[in-house]
Amino acid sequence: MDSITQAALGAAIGGAVLGRRLGRKAVLIGAVLGTLPDLDVVIDYGDAVANVTEHRGFSHSLFVLAGLATALTLLCVRFAPARDISLGRWGAFFSLCLLTHPLLDALTTYGTQLWWPLDVPPAAYAIVFIIDPLYTLPLLVGIGTALVTGNGRRGPAWGLALASAYLMFALGAKQLVAHRIEPILAERGLQEAPRLVQPTPFNTLLWRVTVVNDDEHHELLVGVLDGGIPPLVETYRRGAELEAAALASERGQRLDWFAGPFLRYETREIDGQETLVATDLRLGFPGFYPFAFTLAIREGDSWQEVVVSEQLAAPSRGTREALSRLAGRVMAPEPVLCTSDFVASVWLLDTSGPC
């Protein structure tokens, strides 16, 4: 999630655990702890693929953060002026403020390396968008109440309860969408194909489903309020004929570990050279993918891995229109919204319905 939300979550937890004893201090310290893991964004690994795939790495590891929480707990028990706070209470304060950060991140699409340094793919059970005001607002109101009144516990506790209830709603919405798409995928023989079900920007009422099948990837928009109206299915090329060349490079393998199989491959003319590019299909929205990386340059009949990968600029034209139409689509299946409206026609293979 975004840093404001993470700081708000830490502040709310801090207030709920130690607000009765420390008042506003518990809220403020919790905010600092809640945003601490995201300081890894200041690290430049010197390579675009590394910068993206190392984010939410060691600083989001449950092992690392549990160790830090333990160290801070022992320090406070030994040196903090508040001698009446027990070891268990300090432990709960630091553990919850720190560990909930990566656990919340793992509920988004990006991917969080909870078990670093183990070689385990990032966890990503997408039930909330990376920015969701309906989750963040109760936390902000709760901690705002605590800061104004000086009662560090009651407001944050209520904020946490409402925000947690929203996550439960999001989980139920995702399960509903997953159930609705089963017959559609079965008709196309895609029951076993890798799929990703995630909310569209800033809400949990409209969900984007991405299904990968060899050289194709399929896109569906499914609304919680759609009722029995079947979703449209749009099919795109994935450039799988370039996948072997991409996976021959170290960075291609890293991206496959990070986002595979939800990757698209293509060639682009960059600085007069034919360049192999990989795009993460999970993040953003069709036509507005923010993560595309250079992997290799064509030299004769072979591909030569780039010395340093670059992240290519994301398309921005039409972003406002896309968000406006998405907002309209949230409440009802009409008017029809086609993802292909924002994607270059060269990628489109097939569509159903009026698209």
Condensed to tens digits (0 to 9), the pLDDT of residues 47-84 reads 999 999 999 999 999 999 999 999 999 999 999 998 89
- Say if residue 148 is in the same domain as residue 212: no
What is the end-to-end Cα distance of the chain in Å, rounded?
A: 33
Note whether residue 180 is domain-resident: no
Note whether residue 55 is domain-resident: yes
- Say if residue 149 is in the same domain as residue 63: yes
Note whether residue 340 is domain-resident: yes
User: Residue 331, CB half-sphere, CA atoms under 13 Å: how many?
Assistant: 4
Domain extent at residue 115: 3-171
Condensed to tens digits (0 to 9), the pLDDT of residues 287-309 reads 899 999 999 999 998 999 999 99
Greater model confidence, 325 or 94: 94
Q: Which two tokens stand for residue 263?
A: 């990757």
CB 123 within 8 A of CB 258: no
CB 21 within 8 A of CB 153: no
- Say if residue 216 is in the same domain as residue 263: yes
The answer on pLDDT for 340 being more than 80 is yes
CB 45 within 8 A of CB 63: no
Note whether residue 186 is domain-resident: no
CB 309 within 8 A of CB 295: yes
Note whether residue 184 is domain-resident: no
Question: Residue 317: what pLDDT?
Answer: 61
- Say if residue 163 is in the same domain as residue 29: yes
Question: Residue 206: what pLDDT?
Answer: 96
- Say if residue 154 is in the same domain as residue 244: no
The answer on pLDDT for 258 being more than 90 is yes
Domain count, the chain: 2
Question: Residue 107: what pLDDT?
Answer: 98
Work out the angle between the directed axes of helices 24-35 and 87-105 (0-180°, nearest 10): 40
Condensed to tens digits (0 to 9), the pLDDT of residues 144-195 reads 999 999 888 999 999 999 999 999 999 999 999 999 999 999 999 999 999 9
Note whether residue 45 is domain-resident: yes
For the chain, give the longest Cα–Cα distance: 73
The answer on pLDDT for 338 being more than 90 is no
The answer on pLDDT for 318 being more than 70 is no
Task: Please tell me the pTM assigned to this model.
Answer: 0.94
